[in-house]
């Protein structure tokens, strides 16, 4: 049997998923249930998980899935308590009502330092994660790099943007890739084959193309999308 707060929380989560397709944040849940701290939300979420009413989606920020709804009589009677403390108005869907599925999911991918969109710089490895809307990514494994420089501005890639990269070791002519040069430096450029050489083209007329032997260049991924902060 669920407590009143557990019942309120699962109804709030279900309503938000039905309305927006996105799980509410812990701050929103705290305010909706009139709790003093987020730790209370964590305890309620854990209790609902243990009772298999909800589950957290792995590697996704703010992603909860409602597995089943409580029976109408599952909450403790608390009409007086409800009037004493204001809470969000929520509906209590029938158990037969189809449960909403999370949409617009956010996936956390590794953020591996900064990459030059001009002169190559050392490729930094980092342990931080970057939340990315799943709709920006296709299939495959992805990581992110923060762009440094302006040599790709004519392709719409600006200094400070986050380049979302799909891991791959191959590329076709004209694709924007992360190219590792001499196993030491990385750059973001258009990939081209020029005779026996590999040419890495900028998207800025103020920069010159870079030419390397094939054994000097390793493709480490193709551009899949961009994130920009304003």
Stated as kind and residue range, the H or E segment containing 110 is: strand 106-116
Q: What is the SS3 string spanning 160-197?
A: CCEEEEECCCCCCCCCEEEEEECCCEEEEEEEEEECCE
Is the sign of the CA dihedral 140, 203, 230, 160 positive or negative?
positive
What is the C-alpha separation between 229 and 9, in angstroms, rounded?
32
Burial class of residue 137 in the structure, from the number of CB atoms within 10 Å of its CB (0-12 exposed, 13-18 middle, 19+ buried)? middle
What is the C-alpha separation between 41 and 59, in angstroms, rounded?
20
The residues annotated as belonging to the active site are 151, 189
Burial class of residue 168 in the structure, from the number of CB atoms within 10 Å of its CB (0-12 exposed, 13-18 middle, 19+ buried)? middle
Tally of CB atoms within 10 A around 227: 15
Residue 64 DSSP one-character state: E
Q: Write phi, then psi, for 205 (nearest 5 degrees).
A: -65, -15
């Amino acid at each position: 049997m669920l407590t009143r707060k557990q019942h309120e929380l699962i109804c709030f989560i279900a309503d938000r998923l039905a309305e927006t397709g996105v799980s509410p944040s812990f701050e929103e849940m705290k305010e909706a249930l009139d709790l003093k701290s987020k730790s209370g939300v964590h305890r309620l979420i854990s209790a609902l998980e243990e009772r298999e009413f909800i589950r957290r989606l792995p590697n996704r920020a703010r992603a909860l899935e409602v597995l089943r709804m409580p029976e109408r009589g599952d909450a403790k009677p608390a009409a007086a308590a409800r009037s004493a403390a204001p809470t969000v108005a929520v509906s209590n869907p029938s158990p037969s009502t189809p449960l909403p599925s999370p949409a617009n999911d956010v996936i956390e991918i590794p953020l591996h330092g900064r990459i030059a969109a001009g002169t190559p710089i050392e490729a930094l490895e980092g342990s931080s994660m970057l939340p990315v809307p799943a709709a920006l990514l296709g299939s495959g494994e992805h990581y992110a790099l923060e762009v440094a420089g302006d040599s790709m501005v004519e392709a719409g890639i600006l200094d400070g943007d986050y380049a979302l990269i799909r891991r791959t070791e191959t590329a076709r002519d004209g694709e924007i890739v992360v190219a590792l040069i001499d196993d030491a430096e990385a750059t973001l450029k258009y990939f081209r084959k020029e005779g026996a050489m590999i040419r890495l083209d900028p998207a800025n007329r103020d920069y010159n193309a870079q030419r390397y032997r094939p054994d000097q260049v390793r493709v480490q991924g193709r551009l899949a999308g961009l994130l920009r902060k304003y």
